[in-house]
Amino acid sequence: MAPAKDSTRADDDPHIVLGLVGDPGAAFSLASELVDEGLSEELQQRLPGARWCIELVESRLVQPPATDNAIVSAARRSLLNSAWDVVVYLTDQPLHVHGRPVVAHANPVRNVAVVSVPAVGAVRTRQRIRETIARLLERLIGLPEQRDADAEPEASPSRRLSVERVRELGTDPADGAFAYTARVLTGNLVLLAGMVAANRPWRLSLSLSRALTGAVAAGLFALVTSDIWRLADVFGWERLTSTAVLSIGATTATLIVGAELWEPTVSREVRKQVVMFNIATVVTVLIGVTALYAALYVLALIAAFWFVVPSVLRDAVGHPAAVRDYFELAWLLCSLAMVGGALGAALEPDEAVREAAYVQHSDVPAAVEETP
């Protein structure tokens, strides 16, 4: 390990420890040159609010060939083992999204970024990697892209938000669990919201094909059962709401446990990182599952109006069928369908769930377009 000169952690000022890992050879040489040329000072200018401390490491984290998820997981383990705040891994292996080469991946939830050095090209390599690292760190912190940070007024709202998020990431909370919870509910809540938003959790609902299949099958079975009609009629909004919450919670827990998304605390030094990661993971999956629930509710409502004849529904519930009855029936159908979705979620491949849940590819359009 070769830390940069300013990587001391002894002071109490807000500071972010950036682990810069490079594969042996060209990748590590480029990382060393960036540190020597003042990468930390540039980050301080573009992302003020905390002092940037760089720890430079030469290590091949995974042996090729390796999947993108394996590379991100290996970088995450290095972050936890070294108690860094964020990590950028320069590798000589290719990265892909939908079969197309890309320059970099950013995982805002795990505070991990990976840059493929060969994809950057042979022209102005150092400058392009320097710019890519800065833009990836903006994404990791949960900030919108800032191509010309110096052009922004110092007192503008976006500038103040940038400084606040960097300061929150660079400030270690108190040791007590209560103190950390207080920080999450105040300053760290802004950082958490940025991480989850950058991760685009609504993509999860589009990727859960097996969960959706199980939910639709359970919903269709319940739709033709007259007992379900009577239950929907007598449940009331309290029971319907509780059933909906339980079904969403069961599916969320199944996905997190089944795909091993929950990360245990390995040491006291990385507790802040692990707690933030687990909270962001739960929020990400919960939003995705809730979006799936909303889509199922629309489908259940359409199916209820189409297949359940008012006269038959009237005979089942003992009073004239109203529009409210159909909305209540669709609500209960959707909740029961989500239970079937939880069973289907258990069959989802772990890699597919991880990819949908929190692996976010960086959008560096110019670099991607120039990739051969």
> For the chain, which residues make up each domain, given as ranges?
2-152, 209-347
Do the Cβ atoms of 90 and 30 come closer than 8 Å?
A: yes
The closest alpha carbon to 78, from 1, 180, 174, belongs to: 1
* Strand 100-102 relative to strand 95-97, pairing: antiparallel
Phi and psi at residue 63, in whole multiples of 5°? -90, 135
What's the whole-model pTM score?
0.59
Distance, CA of 323 to CA of 330 (rounded, Å)? 11
Average pLDDT over residues 112-121: 85
At residue 19, the pLDDT reads 94
Long-range contacts from 32-39, C-beta under 8 angstroms, 24+ separation:
32/2, 32/56, 33/126, 34/126, 34/129, 34/130, 34/133, 35/4, 37/126, 39/130, 39/133
Place of tokens 């007259």: 226
Q: Check whether 278 has a pLDDT greater than 90.
A: no
Instruction: Give Cα separations from 76 to 19, 94, 270, 274, 358 (angstroms).
Output: 11, 18, 11, 10, 13
Instruction: Centre a 10 Å sphere on the Cβ of residue 264 and count the other Cβ atoms it contains.
Output: 6
Distance, CA of 99 to CA of 296 (rounded, Å)? 31
Average pLDDT over residues 339-368: 54
Q: Check whether 187 has a pLDDT greater than 60.
A: no
The closest alpha carbon to 333, from 211, 210, 222, belongs to: 222
Please list, in sequence order, all residues whose beta carbon lies within 8 angstroms of the beta carbon of residue 119, skipping any fewer than 6 positions away: 94, 95, 101, 102, 103, 367, 371
- pLDDT band of residue 185 (cuts 50, 70, 90) is very low
Average pLDDT over residues 344-367: 51
CATH number for 2-152 (one of 3.20.20.70, 3.40.390.10, 3.40.50.300, 1.10.3720.10): it is: 3.40.390.10
210-223 pLDDT, tens digit each: 666 667 777 777 77
Quick one: DSSP state of residue 173? P
Average pLDDT over residues 324-346: 80
255 vs 142, higher pLDDT: 255
Q: Mean pLDDT across the chain, nearest whole number?
A: 74
At residue 1, the pLDDT reads 45
Place of tokens 């069961």: 250
Distance, CA of 360 to CA of 106 (rounded, Å)? 6
Tell me if residue 97 falls in helix, strand or coil: strand
180 vs 11, higher pLDDT: 11
- pLDDT band of residue 205 (cuts 50, 70, 90) is low
At residue 150, the pLDDT reads 46
The closest alpha carbon to 337, from 306, 287, 302, 299, belongs to: 299
At residue 363, the pLDDT reads 41
Q: Check whether 21 has a pLDDT greater than 80.
A: yes
Q: Could you tell me where the DSSP H helices lie in 15-106? A: 26-36, 39-46, 68-82
